[in-house]
Amino acid sequence: MILAKKISGRVEFSHWSVAFLVVTLALSGLSCGSDGGLINYNKDVWTQIDLGNDSTNIEPDSLGPDVPSDLFDTTGADTTDADISADVPNLPGPGEPGYPCTENDQCLTPFCIQGPDGKECAQACVTDCPPDMTCSQIATPLGDTAFICVFRDLNLCRPCSNSDVCNDFGISSSACVDYGPSGYFCGINCDSDGECPGGYICADVPTIGGSTSSQCIPEEGECSCNNLAIQSGALTTCYSDNEDGVCEGTRSCTEDGLSDCSAAEPAPEICNGVDDDCDGEIDEDGAAGCLTWYADNDGDGYGIGLGACTCEPPGAGFVNSGGDCNDSATAVNPGQDEFCNGIDDDCDDTVDEIGALGCVVGYLDSDGDGHGDPETEVCTCSLVDGFSEFDDDCDDKDAAISPDADEVCGDFIDNNCDEQVDEENGLGCQVFYLDGDGDGYGLSANFECLCEPTALYGTEFSGDCNDAAPLIHPFAPEQCNDIDDDCDSQTDEDPPSAMCPTPPQGQPACDQTCIIGSCDAGFYDLNGLVPDGCECLSDVDDTANNLCPFAQNLGSVEDVGCDAATGNCGESIFITGQIVPATDEDWYKVDAIDLADDTCDNFHFRVELEYNPSGAYALDVYRGSCAGTDQQCVLSDKYVFATDFRDDSGLDPYGQCPCSNSYLDQDAVIAQFGCGGEDDDFDTASCNIEHYGEAGKNFCGDESATFHIRVYLRPDYTGVPPCEDYELSISNGKFDSGPTGPGSN
């Protein structure tokens, strides 16, 4: 099926059936050349297509690149001759309005105008034209006036560089509208009727050249390219701007639509060989990264003048450091130290300024006392009036306060500026002594004159002789301690009764410490402790028997036989006593009687401490006299003198039994070798001499003797002597299982 419609004198083809292409051309009145070709319009060119003899083999691609590929439609139901007759379009003939053309002389009007898809012959008009066209008056080639229909919106939104490209064939009111950075685009004048195509609005807008006109512009967004603009590659200038400048570029209509603006983003000019801010200059003076160069005539490394900041060095004779104030003197430049010499050495526009080398430090002396405020230091080339070379004033508003002033007690002011108030030796001070122990007295040689007492120097009284002992000071109670407590240069000079407590049963004394000076009669101090005084009362015989010649005579003890009724054997004496004081001794004298007996001799002399408090006491026993040669034992608590035998069983002790006291020559036998025992009559000179007795009996001599017994404190005893009675037993004729002591067997 062939579909076509006639619009304003031109034919638009939609789809063609290949089967009826030749018939359609014949019915339309189009001419066919002798070569059988078909002339068809596409865009602004004519293309001759050779159909040949086989019209059924025409393909879309064979029509060339300028013929739309969808021009042919061979799909759908079969097409009849009736369909062909009904659908044949009313196509313009050569030269008729809408007919493709390239030159005016090809048209009957005769005007070849630009259409949406290429040039075509214009249609004459009086007033009316198709909706998308307007009747425009133009001049003919012969100079006459003609009216033709031209396309009104053909150039709408076309990129432009002037208004001429927006007008064609008598249309002169369309303007090239200024869209700012986006560029310039053609509008349509709407000043008379205010009408615009769909999607456009009529507005007063700026146009190229700076004027204002009522033009149709897009209702929203920016202009887009139509086919004509794309085919012609229409372009416009555009720009990008910011605080750094304005960069120009272009944008054009391409197959992909309106291109982006090619303008660069303006940037601060930097030294990089590029016009960053788009001002037409590259790396101009002042660009970021530039260096300021100054002319240096004296070669001291500093230039004079303002200099120029350039991206490239200007050459020899220029330096990067400026500020020189005398470019003929190498010793004068900003790098020099200022000297006190009447010259601006460092080029700071000041001569011999504060702090110049060689300056004199001064301090503001507001009160004129010759001392300045240390916070107002100024170093000038000469000392300025009102300034002092001294910086030690602590109150520059009071001339009475300075390091030369005397400190005054009681005004709570640092008069002499030593950072102390009312310190030592101030006017009106008082002597205070160092009281290290806080007893109210200080050492006479250690004092300070102060306005007020301090924690260390806090007393007005001196004379202390030991400032580390609070109990030692003048008027302190004298103590018995070998110390001068009252600082009168005497030690323990007071009566003992005033310095020491009175001990019980005694009187005090002082020997570097309180001791017991004496005890009341009959009392003794054994432990040396003052609190319990003379704690031990002596026995009545304490002073009567403390020497051997004055030993207490206890009488005698005999070796009487055993009482069959009671079982008691021999005789015993029991004595109690004390060794008080520790140097005391108790001496006792007793006679041991060896009774004659021809049967059995029971002589068995024994001395024993039955009760010995704390083991403190010991015995010495003498036989015969007090001479040292008669001493039988020493430091013992038991003494036995006897010759004992046992019965046949060997268990029970007996005396000498049976006994013989005479020599019988006819049957004399050796009894034993004696040595200080009974059988040699206690004659040590008879030691190792054979003794003889009656045959079958023991030789029993008379062993009677006088014994002296000494009770005393053991010299190796280290404890306190006990104030207790000892118990001493003396016996004869009594036996035990363990006889001890000299002469016992």
Distance CA 590, CA 545 (A): 13
Q: Which residues pair with 118 in a beta bridge?
A: 115
Does an H or E element contain 518, and which?
A: strand 514-519
Mapping DSSP to helix (H, G, I), strand (E, B) and coil, where does residue 605 land?
strand
Res. 191: pLDDT tops 70: yes
Residue entry with tokens 């349509």: 188
Distance CA 219, CA 395 (A): 83
Distance CA 673, CA 680 (A): 8
For 279-298, how does the pLDDT look when each residue is reduced to its tens digit (9 = 90+)? 999 988 889 999 999 999 99
Give the pair of three-digit tokens for residue 724: 């207790």
Res. 673: pLDDT tops 60: no
Predicted confidence at residue 55, as pLDDT, reads: 36
Give the pair of three-digit tokens for residue 146: 């003609």
Predicted confidence at residue 693, as pLDDT, reads: 54
Does an H or E element contain 90, and which?
A: none
468 burial via Cβ count (<10 Å: 0-12, 13-18, 19+): exposed
Predicted confidence at residue 543, as pLDDT, reads: 61
On whether the CB atoms of residues 263 and 240 are closer than 8 A, the answer is: yes
For 377-436, how does the pLDDT look when each residue is reduced to its tens digit (9 = 90+)? 999 999 889 999 999 999 999 999 999 999 999 999 999 999 999 889 999 999 999 999
Q: What angle do CA 310, 313, 317 make, to 5 degrees?
A: 120
Res. 50: pLDDT tops 90: no
| 18 confidence band (pLDDT: 50, 70, 90) | very low
| 709 confidence band (pLDDT: 50, 70, 90) | very high
Res. 485: pLDDT tops 80: yes
Give the pair of three-digit tokens for residue 381: 């080339």
334 burial via Cβ count (<10 Å: 0-12, 13-18, 19+): middle
Structure-model confidence comparison of residues 245 and 31, the more confident one:
245
Predicted confidence at residue 380, as pLDDT, reads: 93
On whether the CB atoms of residues 266 and 241 are closer than 8 A, the answer is: yes
Predicted confidence at residue 726, as pLDDT, reads: 94
Structure-model confidence comparison of residues 614 and 677, the more confident one:
614
For 636-651, how does the pLDDT look when each residue is reduced to its tens digit (9 = 90+)? 999 998 766 544 455 5
Q: What angle do CA 196, 201, 204 make, to 5 degrees?
A: 105
Look at residues 374, 463, 382 and name the one whose alpha carbon lies nearest to residue 419. 374
Res. 568: pLDDT tops 80: no
Which of 21-25, 253-257, 621-625, 725-729 is least confident?
21-25
Res. 342: pLDDT tops 50: yes
Q: Give the mean pLDDT of 437-462.
A: 93
Res. 229: pLDDT tops 60: yes
Q: Give the mean pLDDT of 684-701.
A: 56
On whether the CB atoms of residues 111 and 121 are closer than 8 A, the answer is: yes
| 564 confidence band (pLDDT: 50, 70, 90) | low
Give the pair of three-digit tokens for residue 508: 């005090």
Residue entry with tokens 């109670």: 477
Beta-strand relationship, 585-593 and 552-558: parallel
pTM over 0.85: no
Q: Give the mean pLDDT of 557-578.
A: 83
Main-chain dihedrals φ then ψ at residue 37, nearest 5 degrees? -85, 165
On whether the CB atoms of residues 175 and 187 are closer than 8 A, the answer is: yes
Q: In the chain, pLDDT over 90 holds for what percent of residues?
A: 51
CB atoms within 10 A of CB 298: 17
Q: Which residues pair with 250 in a beta bridge?
A: 237
Q: Which residues pair with 530 in a beta bridge?
A: none
| 241 confidence band (pLDDT: 50, 70, 90) | very high
Look at residues 146, 64, 158 and name the one whose alpha carbon lies nearest to residue 116. 158
Predicted confidence at residue 597, as pLDDT, reads: 65
| 604 confidence band (pLDDT: 50, 70, 90) | confident
Res. 78: pLDDT tops 60: no
Compute CA distances 337 → 348, 356, 380, 479, 638, whole Å. 11, 7, 14, 81, 115
On whether the CB atoms of residues 378 and 362 are closer than 8 A, the answer is: yes
- Longest CA pairwise span in the chain (Å): 220
| 443 confidence band (pLDDT: 50, 70, 90) | very high
